[in-house]
Amino acid sequence: MVNLSNISLSLKALFTGYILVIGVGLMMAGAQIMLTHGQSDGKPGLSIDDVVYSYYGNRSNSKLENKLNGSMKDKAPVKERLKIINWVKHGAEQQRWKNEIQPIILKRCASCHTSIPALPNLTKFEVIKGLAITDGAVDISSLTRISHIHLFGIAFIFFFVGLIFSLAVGFNKWLKATIIFIPFAFLILDVSAWWLTRIDPAFAWLVIIGGFGYSFASTIMLYTSLYQMWVMPWRQNKNNNTHAWFDE
């Protein structure tokens, strides 16, 4: 019968390799969130303010100021960051840009902001001038791009994680089906909450809940799959003859 404890060694190796890579990938995704969105308010750790600033914007300052005090805080010395912020506060004039600000940008920012297509080219005055106005909600085109990448990419991951977990035994069929479905439901909630938070910061909590929900369900599926492939056969010292897809 087919279940995780008695599939062939080759399939166990395939599933285990996939699970390990996905597990590390999810941890790297969490680290990336902490280093980008998690720095939006200038403080370590992910908070509601980070989510609000990322999608609704910090409307008390310009986008450039918010980045310099947040996720880009470690990219330039304090003196240079304060000089740029002072330039923004005094109208972001072109004359000061040429004499004082552009050399800093070329030294500290150009290596990334001229080579990565998704980043604005800060070496151009008209581009950085646009970032010196009051910070607003995330751009619709950017949010659309991120949303479709997020939905398509992560849905593929959850499909294969769920397919492997569907071979697990010892779960009530409704409980197992719920665990498999939860990541997809919370993924939709997460992305929907981005758009809602763009309109109203009160929805920022849904972003946190959505991310936690699918991360928790994925952890259960990954851990259970590894346990039933490698530990359960050793502990039971016999094969489980349950057919995971038909004997529930």
**How does pLDDT run across 137-159, given as a tens digit for each residue?**
889 999 999 999 999 999 999 99
Residue with tokens 């969130």: 33
Name the residue among 191, 180, 120 with its Cα closest to residue 152: 191
- Tens-digit pLDDT profile for residues 27-53: 999 999 988 887 777 677 888 999 998
User: Domain residue spans in the chain?
Assistant: 9-39+137-236, 63-131
**Range with lowest mean pLDDT among 66-75, 81-90, 109-118:** 66-75
In which band, very low, low, confident or very high, does the pLDDT at 124 lie, cut at 50, 70 and 90? very high
pLDDT at 240 over 80: no
SS3 assignment, position 152 = helix
Q: How far, in Å, CA of 130 to CA of 88, rounded?
A: 11
Dihedrals φ, ψ of 144, to 5°? -65, -45
Tally of residues, the chain? 248
- Cα(106)–Cα(16) distance, integer angstroms: 46
Q: What is the pLDDT of residue 238?
A: 59
Q: Which residue has the tokens 């002072």?
A: 86
pLDDT confidence of residue 243: 73
| Strand, helix or coil for residue 138 | coil
What is the reported pLDDT for 23?
A: 95
Neighbours of 50 (CB within 10 A): 25
On whether the CB atoms of residues 32 and 150 are closer than 8 A, the answer is no
Q: Please give the Cα distance from 103 to 83 (Å, whole number).
A: 12
Residue 244 reports pLDDT greater than 80? no
Which residue(s) pair with 134 in the sheet? 62
Where does residue 106 rank: exposed (0-12), middle (13-18), buried (19+ CB within 10 A)? middle
